[in-house]
Amino acid sequence: MLRGEEPSHHDPIDRSFGLEALDVALALRLARGKDRLLVRALGGLSEIGSQQALLTLAAGMLAYGLFTRDARGTRTGARMLGAHIAASLVKSTVKRLTHRTRPDLLIDDGLYVRGWFGPNEGSWQSFPSGHVAVSVAVSRAVMRAHPEWRGRACAGAAFVAALQVLRGSHFPTDVAAGVAVGALAEATSEAAFRAAARPHAAPATESPAPEGCSSTRPGRTGCPRRLR
């Protein structure tokens, strides 16, 4: 749908695809208060889940661990950074392969478009939610390193996810896709992390032969068989 078209003459939503219609309707309903002061304030706080903020947090944790020689802190920072990079790569790739305008454009301007490729602009890159993808990935990395922080990590990711819909930045399916991207990216990063940390098997070596023997294997020349 283009700007200026009458919604009564052209419905931008494919009603034959029931999930999309439900998704859009739910987003519009939940984002009705997007301009309220409280929602705007909470939306600002949810920027802790942005790609830049979490990159700074992950890099800071890694630097802290290295500087203080805290092995656990170093591993935590490395996991966070790896999960962040993996999630960022996946979500950025999907955003460039597809386009979907954000709910606030539909609410304010009556514009809703989706499809393959499209403008490389933030307002046209609603799918998937990058905030949610990176938040879920980093929170899962934190939980692996610090299981005792599970509750706080989950609460933080859930807060970021909820505000993306309430502030009109994303549709619910954008958020769901972000959760999937974040979980998959973190699992992949963790697998790579463990593979890199796994010690390589050392080649088998024979133990030194006892004094007076040329071999440690009984029955060989120069090494008498031990009697029982």
Would the pTM of this model clear 0.85, i.e. be above it? no
C-beta neighbour count of 20 within 10 angstroms: 16
- Topology of 18-197 in CATH? Vanadium-containing Chloroperoxidase; domain 1 (1.20.144)
Q: What was the pLDDT predicted at 103?
A: 96
CA distance 121 to 125: 6
Model pLDDT, residue 201: 47
- SS3 (DSSP) at 125: strand
Q: What is the pLDDT of residues 21-51, one digit of tens each?
A: 999 999 999 999 999 999 999 999 999 999 9
218: left (phi over 0), alpha (psi -120 to 50) or beta: beta
Residues 6+ apart with CB under 8 A from 46: 131, 159, 160, 163, 164, 167
**208: phi > 0 → left, psi -120 to 50 → alpha, else beta; which?**
beta
Residue 177: predicted pLDDT: 97
What residue spans define the domains of the chain? Answer: 18-197
Dihedral Cα 25, 49, 45, 21, nearest 10 deg: 0
Give pLDDT < 50 ranges for the chain: 1-10, 16, 201-202, 216, 227-228
- Residue 127 is encoded by which pair of tokens? 């799918």
Nearest-CA neighbor of 99 among 80, 85, 117?
117
Residue 11: burial class (beta carbons within 10 Å; 0-12, 13-18, 19+): exposed
